[in-house]
Chain A
Amino acid sequence: MIRVQNIKKSFGDVIAVSDVSFTAPDGQITGLLGPNGAGKSTTMRVLYTAIKPEAGQALIDNIDVATQPLDARARLGALPHGAGLYQQLTARENIAYFAAMHGLRGQQAKDRVNEMIDLLEIGDFADRRTKGFSQGQKTKVALARALVHGPQNVILDEPTNGLDVMATRSLRKIIRKLRDQGKCVLFSSHVMQEVAALCDDIVIIAAGAVSMTGSTEDIKQNTGTDDLEDAFVRAITPAGEMLR
């Protein structure tokens, strides 16, 4: 379970996140929805401890990421925005590297890597160097790498960016599989349809603050429209003048 309470973060004069709070429970896909520059990536970076919040708290399975970053990261599988691979290593070696860094050794590590290759259906190119992989292939390998230690919590920052329809579909299938295994999945996107198609719960962020939370139906009801796009636009409008 992931819990974020009133976090705040600025870079110089720019306030990236002013007040974000939400809870992403286990066995659910929680969508972090917002326009570009709303603070989605910053919130996620706080969660996987790449940056420290100035105020507020972020908890992963009730572990404070600020005070126990290593323990928090051990329970987390994160796919940062635009995650890159080591091009001179094969897909398998990329995944095995992360397995070793999570403390998996020997046969256990090999088994886990093979499980991931099966889960993400990347067996055809698992033993090729990742240089020249398509965006879809890269994303799958990066996701396999992030999941290799079987984390309870999974954070995906705009994972469908640059993927074609087929790749997006197979990615959704994998994410649902994770949910059905009882994992807590936090998924960010700037596309309403994307989030609506996948997420059980939606957190809409605009200009660094949460403007609305709930299921797709809740959000349609709150904004008084049946059209998803209109609902999204209305949900972020109070801070609309700050849109970039």
Chain B
Amino acid sequence: MSHLSTVFFKEIRDNFRDRRTMLSALVFGPLFGPIMFAVLISMTLKQATDSKTQPLELAVIGADYAPNLINYLESEDTEIEPIDLTTDEAVEAVKDGTYELVLIVDEAFGEQWTDARSARVSLVMDNSDSSIARKGRRARGMISGYSRQIGAMRLLARGVDPSVMRPITIDEIDTSTPSGRAGLILGMLSYFLLFAMLAGGMYLAIDTTAGERERGSLEPLLTLPVKRSTLLIGKLLATCLFMSVSLALALIAFAVVLQFMPLQQLGMSVDFGPKQVITAFVVTAPFALIGAALLTVVASFTKTFKEAQSYMNITMLLPTLPIIVAAVNNLRPSLTWMTVPSMSQHLLILDLVKGEPLQPMFVAVSIGSSLIIGTILTLIAIHLYKREGLLG
């Protein structure tokens, strides 16, 4: 036991003084996710609010034929630019980007309107551009709103209840809470947390095998009257500690970022206070053992620090696989999925940020299976550490 703590505290002290390790564990790892997040959310936010608050620019051919409609559109915050083009020219103008949206009012519009027949307009736009498509929807929404309004008035004028036009009325009862929608974006949170952990432990894991060997300190270490398994476990525990610190910092950074993000404007509400931070830590921390052992196993096959580092980058992407599977198949937490590391953490954190209660059973299975798999990987790492080939 005393050997174990000697190794543990030496690794902590040694790595604490290493600038590269500290930057990776305390700065890059934990802050990468929250910063990406802040950028992504503010971009989404900007797009959403832009399209709502800015007036819609609409080029109109034949505006004179439909003064009522134009008045209505202008009252709904639309900037009308009357233009004089043929239909073909309008299509070309939209294709080459001169105009984003062109509304064409047919010559016969006035006549059809006064005859109370269906009057025709055309909307020219490129639907493959999502921001233009959004503007197009807005324009279409306004025009059909006006159309419904006039239709109802015409029916009333003929003594008909406008509701005959709606044999079926659909009432949607939306069960998604605002924070449920937030889950879509916050689905990335779990990977950023796992990434922060792996970044925090990466340099220690490399140092355990490839680093010590390259520096020439491994062989003297092995001449000590201490079991190799003790050495490895001591180093592994130090790696786990660094990973846990990275995780804690990442969670705190997220809590701060989410605090300052005006998520309500996106129709999201995220409650990520101290209680959620602690719960997320408890749920995610057991992954540290898996991560530390996995990184150590990978590093033990490499000869130099540089070689190890290049393999680490690939290893750090591994936890994305179960998360992608979960996201693509829209999986919900179940006992089976709780046995899959990284996926179980992902599903639990997703529920946590959605504000849904976590099932204690699921949490227990997730923690238990992570610890079991982590222990198996640790045994493999110990086995590899005992090989003669370790000396290189």
Contacts and interface: CB of A to CB of B under 8 A. Distances in A.
A159 B13 CA distance: 28
B216 A83 contact: yes
A101 B224 contact: yes
B360 interface: no
Interface string A79-101: 11111111111000100011011
Given A89-B13, A101-B225, A103-B2, 14 more contacts: A45-B219, A48-B222, A49-B222, A81-B219, A82-B216, A84-B220, A85-B215, A86-B215, A88-B14, A88-B15, A97-B6, A101-B7, A101-B226, A146-B220
Nearest to B17: A88
A14 interface: no
Interface in A7-58: 45, 48-52
A80 B220 contact: yes
A51 B10 contact: no
Contacts of B13: 88-89, 93
A73 B224 contact: yes
Contacts, number: 77
B223 A50 contact: yes
Contacts of B391: 45, 50-51
A74 interface: yes
A177 to B, nearest CB: 21
Most buried by A among B7, B220, B223, B227: B223
B210 to A, nearest CB: 13
Contacts of B18: 88
- 6 smallest CB-CB distances across A and B, nearest first, come from A84-B216, A80-B219, A74-B225, A78-B223, A88-B17, A73-B225
The range of chain B's interface size is 20 to 34
A129 B344 CA distance: 44
A86 B3 CA distance: 18
B388 A50 contact: yes
Grouping DSSP codes into helix (H, G, I), strand (E, B) and loop, the B interface class, with mixed when no group exceeds half, is helix
A51 B386 CA distance: 10
B330 interface: no
Interface residues of A, number: 34
Given A84-B215, A87-B215, A101 B220 contact: no
Contacts of B220: 78-80, 83-84, 98, 142, 145-146
A51 B6 contact: no
17 contacts: A50-B219, A73-B223, A73-B225, A78-B220, A80-B216, A80-B219, A80-B220, A84-B215, A84-B220, A85-B215, A85-B217, A86-B10, A87-B215, A88-B13, A89-B13, A97-B6, A103-B2
Contacts of B15: 88
A71 to B, nearest CB: 7
Contacts of B225: 70-71, 73-74, 101-102
A87 B17 CA distance: 10
A86 B219 contact: no
A100 B4 CA distance: 11
Nearest to B215: A84
A97 B219 contact: no
Given A48-B222, A50-B219, A88-B17, A70 B388 contact: no
Contacts of A49: 222-223
B223 A76 contact: yes
B217 A86 contact: yes
Given A52-B388, A88-B18, A102-B225, A83 B10 contact: no
B303 to A, nearest CB: 15
A100 B6 contact: yes
Contact of B388 (A51, A97, A102, A145): A51
Interface string B8-50: 0010011101100000000000000000000000000000000
Contacts of B223: 48-50, 73, 76, 78, 80, 146
Contacts of A80: 216, 219-220, 223
